[in-house]
């Protein structure tokens, strides 16, 4: 299988304006930072970035560049705003959200995780107890009022559940500790977070790997994401992040 | 709504200590951002396993200096360490644990809690946005066997946080079982809020004066022991 690509630029060359890209990471931990930087350089516009827990807050410089370049149409996340309200007011992304120039759609984190899991597993939608009794039961939670479509609920065995739909992004950007030439991936500690489910959900999965090894370099028992989910791999230097939630 | 008085209460670390006393040996717990995170300082040495929703069981102490690894953080985004027996997993597995009823106790912060055990913690309307940072809070409410709230008794601005009706957007309805504040320990029962413990130097009436709903004072209401 030819999965190793010579450069990030070539690996993302076919991403068109309007694409939906899954971006993993729990704040800065496990973010595909090199791929985001390549996306900024490429200048693709009208993008929907499907996240899970604030990777764009972790990659704050990249978020700022993507916002100021006008590349983002929409972000989907459980944690899309800076925790600090005063920092948020200064942030170009939050300003664009406030002005309605970028859509921010919010789901609970476990619902985000399950949307990708379902997307990768051929399940179109699922009922979850999460969000019952809150606005998440009533409608989609978006800063754009006309996009707040009502949600369906159902009583199963006496308990209320909310219907949520699977997500199948066009691309997933993945950051792995090690990849082998078969596309098998292994993550480091809590940097795994959304990487695996997003790799399963996307139509085309592009992984940046800190270490690239031959087939057999990762023991079969040590693989976290089997190569069937991974289309392209590029070796990148280990990124450096500040660990912060603000 | 504003209470008329303000009392000097426990520091945040001591609220966390009191919460830790309520966690039974053998429990799997999940700690939210803020005061709840501090609970782990007091469960060291106990047979208690902390789950971090990022995808880890058995989180260790905070990492310092050369021990900081950007690939190892807790749900509050702090660099941490691992322990013998620590395990990592992906986010869908993590929330299967949470939603699936495998977490014994979740401890969360809150803006407001009411008598029915409803609480608000995910969105501050003062920010003026319909959207907010919900994170994993609603999944924890849906799945944890018990939900504790650890918070200051009133806001910095002096407003009630224990209220008759939520004015902030709800995180979950009817899920809170106990509230631990800098002034008191309150249990939520079908009859209403029961005042169980009061911090040294204050009376139950003092606590009532900074609490909007009418408290039921437990017959065995006592001074909080730390």
pLDDT for B1 beyond 70 = no
Percent of the residues in chain B that have a pLDDT greater than 70, as a whole number:
99
Partner-chain residue, chosen from A98, A131, A224, that has the shortest CB–CB distance to B138 = A131
Sign of the Cα torsion A201, A11, A106, A53 reads: positive
B93 catalytic residue (yes or no): no
pLDDT for A244 beyond 80 = no
In this predicted model, what pLDDT tens digit does every residue of A192-235 receive, in sequence order?
A: 999 999 999 999 999 999 999 999 999 999 999 999 999 999 99
- The interface predicted TM-score of the complex, written ipTM, equals 0.96
Give yes or no for a contact between B103 and B143, defined as CB atoms under 8 angstroms apart.
yes
The three-point CA angle B155-B157-B163 to 5° equals 45
Give yes or no for a contact between A162 and A151, defined as CB atoms under 8 angstroms apart.
yes
Burial class from Cβ neighbours inside 10 Å (0-12, 13-18, 19+) for residue A214 reads: exposed
Subunit contact A142:B131, Cβ cutoff 8 A: yes
Subunit contact A108:B33, Cβ cutoff 8 A: no
**With contacts defined as CB-CB under 8 Å, which chain A residues touch B74?**
190
Give yes or no for a contact between A196 and A179, defined as CB atoms under 8 angstroms apart.
no
In this predicted model, what pLDDT tens digit does every residue of A128-167 receive, in sequence order?
A: 999 999 999 999 999 999 999 999 999 999 999 999 999 9
**With contacts defined as CB-CB under 8 Å, which chain A residues touch B94?**
113
Subunit contact A109:B134, Cβ cutoff 8 A: yes
Half-sphere exposure of A231 (CA within 13 A, CB side): 17
Partner-chain residue, chosen from A54, A141, A190, that has the shortest CB–CB distance to B55 = A190
Of the listed B13, B44, B53, B223, which one is catalytic?
B53
pLDDT for B2 beyond 80 = no
Give yes or no for a contact between B180 and B137, defined as CB atoms under 8 angstroms apart.
no
Distance CA B46, CA B8 (A): 30
**With contacts defined as CB-CB under 8 Å, which chain A residues touch B134?**
78-79, 106-109, 136, 141
Partner-chain residue, chosen from B82, B99, B169, that has the shortest CB–CB distance to A128 = B99
In this predicted model, what pLDDT tens digit does every residue of B167-214 receive, in sequence order?
A: 999 999 999 999 999 999 999 999 999 999 999 999 999 999 999 999
Q: What is the nearest CA distance from B201 to chain A, expressed in angstroms?
A: 34
User: If you average pLDDT over residues B58-76, what whole number do you get?
Assistant: 93
pLDDT for B4 beyond 70 = no
Write out the two tokens for B204: 């139950």
DSSP B79: B
Give yes or no for a contact between A153 and A163, defined as CB atoms under 8 angstroms apart.
yes
DSSP collapsed to 3 states, chain A? CCCECCCHHHHCCCCCCCCEEECCCECCECCCHHHHHHHHHHCCCCEEEECCECHHHHCHHHHHHHHHCCCEEEEEECCCCCCCHHHHHHCHHHHHHHCCCCEEEECCHHHHHHHHHHHHHCCCEEEECCCCCCHHHHECEECCHHHCCECCEEEECCEEEEEEECCCCCEEEEEEEEEECCCCEECCHHHCCCHHHHHHHCCEEEEEEEEEECCCCCCHHHCCECHHHCCEEEECCCCCCCCCCC
pLDDT for B86 beyond 80 = yes
**With contacts defined as CB-CB under 8 Å, which chain B residues touch A33?**
none
**With contacts defined as CB-CB under 8 Å, which chain B residues touch A100?**
none
**B150 alpha carbon, distance to own chain's centre:** 4
- For residue B72, give the chain A residue with the closest CA: A190
Subunit contact A143:B129, Cβ cutoff 8 A: yes
Partner-chain residue, chosen from A132, A240, A243, that has the shortest CB–CB distance to B73 = A243
* Nearest alpha-carbon partner for A164 in A78, A72, A79: A78
Name the one residue in this structure whose structure tokens are 């089997």.
A226
A131 Cβ contact list (under 8 Å, min separation 6): A108, A111, A137, A162, B138, B142
Chain B touched by A78 (CB under 8 Å) = yes
Subunit contact B94:A113, Cβ cutoff 8 A: yes
Strands A125-128 and A159-165: antiparallel
Q: What is the nearest CA distance from B215 to chain A, expressed in angstroms?
A: 25
Distance CA A6, CA B28 (A): 45
Rg (CA), chain A: 18
Q: How confident is the model at residue A1 (pLDDT cuts 50, 70, 90)?
A: confident
Chain B touched by A42 (CB under 8 Å) = no
């Amino acid at each position: 299988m030819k999965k190793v690509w010579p450069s990030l630029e070539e690996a993302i060359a076919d991403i068109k304006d309007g694409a939906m890209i899954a971006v993993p990471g729990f704040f800065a931990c496990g973010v595909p930072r090199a791929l985001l930087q390549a996306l900024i350089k490429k200048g693709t516009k009208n993008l929907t970035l499907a996240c899970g827990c604030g990777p764009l807050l972790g990659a704050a410089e990249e978020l700022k560049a993507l916002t100021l370049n006008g590349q983002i149409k929409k972000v989907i996340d459980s944690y899309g705003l800076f925790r600090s309200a005063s920092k948020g007011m200064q942030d170009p992304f939050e300003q664009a959200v406030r002005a309605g120039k970028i859509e921010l759609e919010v789901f609970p984190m476990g619902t985000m995780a399950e949307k990708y899991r379902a997307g990768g597993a051929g399940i179109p939608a699922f009922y979850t107890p999460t969000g019952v009794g809150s606005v998440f039961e009533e409608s989609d939670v978006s800063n754009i009022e006309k996009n707040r479509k009502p949600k369906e609920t159902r009583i199963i065995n006496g308990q209320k559940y909310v219907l949520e739909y699977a997500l199948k992004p066009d691309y997933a950007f993945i950051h792995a500790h090690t990849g082998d030439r078969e596309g098998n991936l292994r993550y480091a500690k809590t940097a795994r977070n959304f990487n695996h489910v997003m790799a399963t959900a996307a139509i085309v999965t592009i992984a940046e790997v800190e270490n690239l090894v031959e087939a057999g370099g990762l023991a079969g028992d040590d693989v976290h994401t089997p190569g069937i989910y991974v289309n392209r791999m590029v070796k990148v230097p280990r990124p450096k992040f500040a660990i912060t939630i603000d | 709504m504003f209470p008329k008085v303000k009392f000097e209460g426990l520091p945040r670390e001591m609220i966390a200590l009191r919460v830790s006393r309520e966690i039974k040996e053998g429990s799997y717990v999940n700690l939210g951002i803020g005061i709840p995170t501090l609970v782990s300082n007091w469960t060291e040495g106990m047979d208690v396993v902390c789950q971090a929703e990022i995808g880890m069981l058995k989180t260790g102490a905070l990492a310092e200096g050369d021990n900081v690894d950007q690939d190892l953080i807790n749900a509050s985004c702090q660099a941490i360490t691992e322990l013998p027996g620590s395990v990592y997993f992906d986010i869908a597995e993590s929330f299967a644990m949470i939603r699936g009823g495998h977490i014994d106790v979740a401890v969360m912060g809150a803006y407001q809690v009411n008598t029915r055990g409803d609480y608000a913690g995910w969105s501050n309307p003062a920010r003026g946005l319909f959207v907010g940072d919900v994170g994993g809070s609603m999944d924890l409410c849906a799945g944890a066997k018990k939900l504790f709230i650890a918070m200051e008794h009133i806001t910095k601005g002096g407003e009630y946080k224990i209220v008759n009706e939520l004015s902030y957007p709800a995180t979950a309805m009817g899920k809170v079982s106990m509230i631990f504040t800098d002034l008191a320990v309150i249990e939520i029962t079908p009859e209403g809020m029961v005042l169980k413990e009061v911090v040294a130097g204050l009376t139950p009436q003092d606590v009532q004066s900074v609490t909007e709903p009418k408290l039921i004072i437990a017959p065995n209401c006592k001074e909080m022991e730390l």
